[in-house]
């Protein structure tokens, strides 16, 4: 009997939860705010779904109801991707050691 | 156009880069590199998606335009936002992820062929379940985050909003979501799909309104977690490894943060979610006590004198410091103290502020080196050997009642042992109780000197007096 591909995806999902569990526990508490902003940025990888939906139209019919939802989702996710990574970067730049001070 | 297998491998790579991005955050030194890994993962995922769809018609132009518009808005916000507004920014961003998840689910529902999910009206059962879970969780994340944003931004009162039958209503709506998903799978009716999304929006609102301001660290972490599960749900629908891995990472990250926050308040996750904390405490009782007990209050001069003659000072910042934007003034004060050879460290309670790590970011912004900033368990023993504790904008997290009075609502919560210091300087605008609605015993201790003023103004005055 063949294994349903869904089971493979489920395996990836569950293993990733475990990876997430151990990786996040090792994050130093002082970086919990950047952790939230970066997780926020990476969860915007949902943009791949938005792109697929938006590209589904043909040249004659770029905007169907479905692709319009895709386009709006692209904007939302793009705000998050750029905003999330840049604000994380900005925060991380501020964390400095004693030696580095003027 | 690249093959599905090749693109799956690239999605896996981008998932791994996201894991490394989080891994980098284990220390500030590696964190910046981690962020670049994250960016690389995102670029790979987006480019691979373009290539795998392989549609280079006019649509692509629009996709890029919309991507740029969103990117420009995001970049603008990221550069403009003050660090004190970080909690509401994160809440706002969560709402966008949630809404994006809802829209992707809608798009997939309306045009299943584009996603290889079957035809309209005959979507594969598994896909339908996955996308409706993604849509429902996404909708809850969206509306919940909007409420959290409004509360944090002060556009909506931070106090809990409760009404009778609230939990019962939530329960009914929760059950309704499952019933609707069940019928959606049976009938594939559009109306059920829309009703499902509408009810999920409503649940998000109802879930967050009863939760008060200082419980926000839990709420933000929880919504962070939800946005991850929503992404994972959509990831299953799209059969996309990058999304599944990311969703799982973000989901567990948010869940762990919620757990840490709950533990730091010694409250169960359930009690936070049920809400209403701090709303119904007997205020009359505390008022009476206040009149009876004597309080020593002082001014900036006294505070400066005390600190000048100390050999070690521990600073305890809290939400009040963020509100007053006092972090830069505080740093100036600390610089002056250090010039006098006084050892200064910072003690941060896990729930100080409105989101996990809030105080650390503000201190970092004020150029406080991170190796002078300590977490509760690392510094709590030092209070006994220190001369002065300078409490600025924190309250409940210093209340010794948590250790002594089993009847107190915060009993058992880990607190900073501020009272063990030789003297305590407590900057606060008035004697009013903190978020938990209980009196802080610390105010009435012999070794406490209250400094009644705005945190920023008081700190600036102390700086002047240190010269």
pLDDT at A35 over 90: yes
Give A-chain residues touching B370 at CB under 8 angstroms: 30, 95-97
Contact by Cβ (8 Å): B343, B313: yes
Question: What is the distance between the alpha carbons of residues B49 and B132, in angstroms, rounded to a whole number?
Answer: 23
Query: What burial letters (b/e) apply to B63-84, b meaning 16+ CB within 10 Å?
Result: beebbeebbebbbebbeebebb
pLDDT at B65 over 90: yes
Give A-chain residues touching B145 at CB under 8 angstroms: none
How many CB atoms are located within 10 Å of the residue A86 CB?
A: 22
Candidates B396, B417, B439, B461; catalytic one: B396
Question: What is the distance between the alpha carbons of residues A85 and B26, in angstroms, rounded to a whole number?
Answer: 17
B138 CA to chain A: closest CA distance, Å? 11
A-B C-beta contacts closer than 8 Å: 387
Q: What are the pLDDT digits (tens) for B10-19?
A: 999 999 999 9
State the average pLDDT over residues A30-35. 92
φ, ψ (nearest 5 deg) of residue B169: -60, -45
Instruction: Give the helix/strand (H/E) hosting B344.
Output: strand B343-348
Long-range contacts of B450-453 (CB under 8 A, 24+ apart): B450/B295, B450/B296, B450/B297, B450/B298, B450/B426, B451/B297, B451/B298, B451/B299, B451/B300, B451/B303, B451/B425, B451/B426, B451/B427, B452/B297, B452/B428, B453/B300, B453/B427, B453/B429
For residue A84, what are the contacts with CB-CB under 8 A and spacing of at least 6?
A37, A38, A40, A41, A42, A44, B74, B78, B93
Cα-trace Rg, chain B: 25
Contact by Cβ (8 Å): B213, B141: no
For residue B415, what are the contacts with CB-CB under 8 A and spacing of at least 6?
B349, B396, B397, B398, B399, B400, B402, B403
Give A-chain residues touching B41 at CB under 8 angstroms: 42, 45
Question: What is the distance between the alpha carbons of residues B12 and A43, in angstroms, rounded to a whole number?
Answer: 15
Contact by Cβ (8 Å): B419, B408: no
CA atoms lying within 13 Å on the CB side of residue B48 = 25
Contact B28 A58 (CB under 8 A): no
pLDDT confidence tier of residue B279, bands split at 50, 70 and 90: very low
* Residue B389 β-bridge partners: B314, B424
Contact A74 B58 (CB under 8 A): no
Question: What is the distance between the alpha carbons of residues A60 and B94, in angstroms, rounded to a whole number?
Answer: 35
pLDDT confidence tier of residue B21, bands split at 50, 70 and 90: very high
How many CB atoms are located within 10 Å of the residue B124 CB?
A: 15
pLDDT at B275 over 80: no
Q: What are the pLDDT digits (tens) for B142-188?
A: 999 999 999 888 888 777 787 888 888 888 998 999 999 999 988 88
φ, ψ (nearest 5 deg) of residue B454: -65, 135
Contact by Cβ (8 Å): B324, B454: yes
Q: Do strands B122-123 and B118-119 pair parallel, antiparallel, or not at all (unpaired)?
A: antiparallel
pLDDT at B454 over 90: no
Q: What is the pLDDT at residue B436?
A: 65
Question: What is the distance between the alpha carbons of residues B5 and B11, in angstroms, rounded to a whole number?
Answer: 10
B59 touches chain A (CB under 8 A): yes
Q: What is the mean pLDDT of chain A?
A: 87
Q: What are the pLDDT digits (tens) for B413-424?
A: 888 988 888 888
CA angle B227, B238, B256 (to 5 degrees): 25
Contact by Cβ (8 Å): B257, A36: yes
Q: What are the pLDDT digits (tens) for B85-100?
A: 899 999 999 999 999 9
Instruction: Assess whether B341 carries a catalytic annotation.
Output: no
Determine the length of chain A: 102
Q: What is the ipTM of this complex?
A: 0.92
Question: What is the distance between the alpha carbons of residues A80 and B77, in angstroms, rounded to a whole number?
Answer: 10
pLDDT confidence tier of residue B120, bands split at 50, 70 and 90: confident
The residue with greater pLDDT, B274 or B146, is B146
The residue with greater pLDDT, B333 or B440, is B333
Quickly list DSSP for B350-361: TTSSSSTTHHHH
Question: What is the distance between the alpha carbons of residues B261 and A52, in angstroms, rounded to a whole number?
Answer: 38
What CA–CA distances, in Å, run from B110 to B103, B154, B229, B430?
10, 38, 22, 57
Question: What is the distance between the alpha carbons of residues B340 and B465, in angstroms, rounded to a whole number?
Answer: 13
Question: What is the distance between the alpha carbons of residues B345 and B369, in angstroms, rounded to a whole number?
Answer: 10
Question: What is the distance between the alpha carbons of residues B327 and B348, in angstroms, rounded to a whole number?
Answer: 14
The residue with greater pLDDT, B123 or B288, is B123
Q: What are the pLDDT digits (tens) for B108-119?
A: 999 888 888 888
φ, ψ (nearest 5 deg) of residue B389: -110, 130
Contact by Cβ (8 Å): B134, B237: yes
pLDDT at B309 over 90: no
φ, ψ (nearest 5 deg) of residue B396: -55, -30
Largest distance between two CA atoms of chain B: 79
| B73, B250, B375 ranked by CB distance to A39: nearest | B250
Using H for helix, E for strand and C for coil, what is the string for B216-270?
HHHHHHHHHHHHHHHHHHHHHHHCCHHHHHHHHHHHHHHHHHHHHHHHHCCCCHH
Q: What are the pLDDT digits (tens) for B325-340?
A: 888 999 999 998 888 8
Q: What is the mean pLDDT of chain B?
A: 87
CA atoms lying within 13 Å on the CB side of residue B338 = 12
pLDDT at B284 over 80: no
Report which of B91, B184, B175, B66 is spatially closest to residue B129, judged by C-alpha positions.
B184
Candidates A79, A93, A102, partner chain B, best to mutate (most B CBs within 10 A)? A79
**pTM, whole model, 2 decimals?**
0.89
Question: What is the distance between the alpha carbons of residues A9 and B245, in angstroms, rounded to a whole number?
Answer: 9
Give A-chain residues touching B106 at CB under 8 angstroms: 66, 69
Q: What is the pLDDT at residue B277?
A: 58
Percentage, residues of chain B above pLDDT 90: 39
How many CB atoms are located within 10 Å of the residue B431 CB?
A: 18
Percentage, residues of chain A above pLDDT 90: 63
Question: What is the distance between the alpha carbons of residues B312 and B398, in angstroms, rounded to a whole number?
Answer: 19
Report which of B86, B94, B89, B9 is spatially closest to residue B51, judged by C-alpha positions.
B9
């Amino acid at each position: 009997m063949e294994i349903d591909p869904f089971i493979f995806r489920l395996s990836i999902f569950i293993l990733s939860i475990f990876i997430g569990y151990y990786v996040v526990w090792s994050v130093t508490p002082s970086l919990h705010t950047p952790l939230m902003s970066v997780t926020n940025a990476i969860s915007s990888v949902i943009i791949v779904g938005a792109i697929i939906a938006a590209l589904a139209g043909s040249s004659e019919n770029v905007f169907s109801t479905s692709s319009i939802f895709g386009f709006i989702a692209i904007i939302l996710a793009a705000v998050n991707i750029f905003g999330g990574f840049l604000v994380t970067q900005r925060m991380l730049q501020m964390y400095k050691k004693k030696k580095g001070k003027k | 156009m690249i093959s599905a297998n090749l693109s799956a491998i690239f999605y896996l790579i981008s998932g791994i880069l996201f894991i490394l991005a989080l891994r980098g955050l284990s220390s500030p030194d590696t964190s910046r590199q981690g962020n670049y890994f994250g960016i690389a993962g995102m670029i790979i995922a987006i480019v691979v998606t373009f290539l795998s769809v392989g549609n280079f018609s006019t649509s692509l132009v629009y996709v890029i335009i919309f991507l740029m518009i969103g990117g420009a808005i995001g970049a603008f916000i990221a550069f403009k936002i003050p660090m004190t507004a970080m909690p509401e920014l994160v809440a706002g961003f969560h709402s966008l992820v949630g809404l994006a998840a809802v829209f992707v689910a809608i798009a997939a529902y309306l045009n299943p062929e584009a996603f290889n999910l079957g035809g309209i009206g005959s979507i594969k059962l598994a896909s339908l379940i996955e996308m409706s879970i993604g849509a429902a969780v996404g909708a809850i994340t969206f509306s919940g985050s909007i409420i959290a944003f409004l509360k944090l931004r002060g556009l909506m009162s931070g106090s809990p909003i409760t009404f009778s039958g609230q939990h019962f209503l939530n329960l009914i709506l929760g059950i309704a979501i499952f019933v609707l998903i069940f019928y959606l799978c049976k009938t594939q009716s559009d109306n059920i799909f829309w009703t499902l999304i509408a009810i999920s929006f409503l649940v998000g609102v109802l879930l967050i309104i009863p939760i008060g301001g200082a419980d926000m660290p839990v709420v933000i972490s929880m919504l962070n977690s939800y946005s991850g599960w929503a992404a994972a749900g959509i990831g299953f629908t799209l059969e996309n490894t990058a999304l599944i891995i990311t969703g799982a990472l973000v989901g567990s990250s948010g869940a762990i943060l919620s757990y840490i926050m709950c533990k730091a308040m010694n409250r169960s996750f359930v009690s936070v979610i049920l809400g209403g904390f701090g709303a119904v405490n007997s205020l009359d009782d505390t008022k009476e006590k206040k009149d009876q007990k004597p309080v020593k209050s002082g001014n900036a001069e006294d505070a400066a004198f005390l600190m000048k003659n100390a050999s070690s000072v521990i600073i305890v910042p809290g939400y009040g410091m963020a509100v007053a934007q006092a972090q830069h003034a505080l740093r100036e004060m600390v610089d002056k103290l250090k010039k006098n050879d006084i050892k200064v460290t910072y003690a941060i309670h896990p729930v100080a502020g409105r989101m996990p790590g809030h105080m650390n970011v503000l201190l970092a912004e004020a150029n406080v080196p991170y190796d002078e900033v300590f977490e509760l368990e690392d510094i709590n023993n030092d209070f006994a050997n220190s001369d002065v504790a300078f409490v600025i904008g924190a309250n409940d997290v210093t209340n010794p009642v948590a250790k002594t009075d089993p009847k107190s609502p915060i009993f058992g919560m880990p607190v900073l042992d501020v009272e063990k210091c030789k003297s305590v300087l407590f900057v606060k605008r008035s004697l009013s109780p903190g978020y938990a609605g209980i009196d802080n015993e610390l105010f009435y201790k012999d070794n406490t000197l209250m400094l009644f003023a705005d945190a920023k103004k008081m700190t600036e005055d102390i700086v002047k007096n240190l010269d």
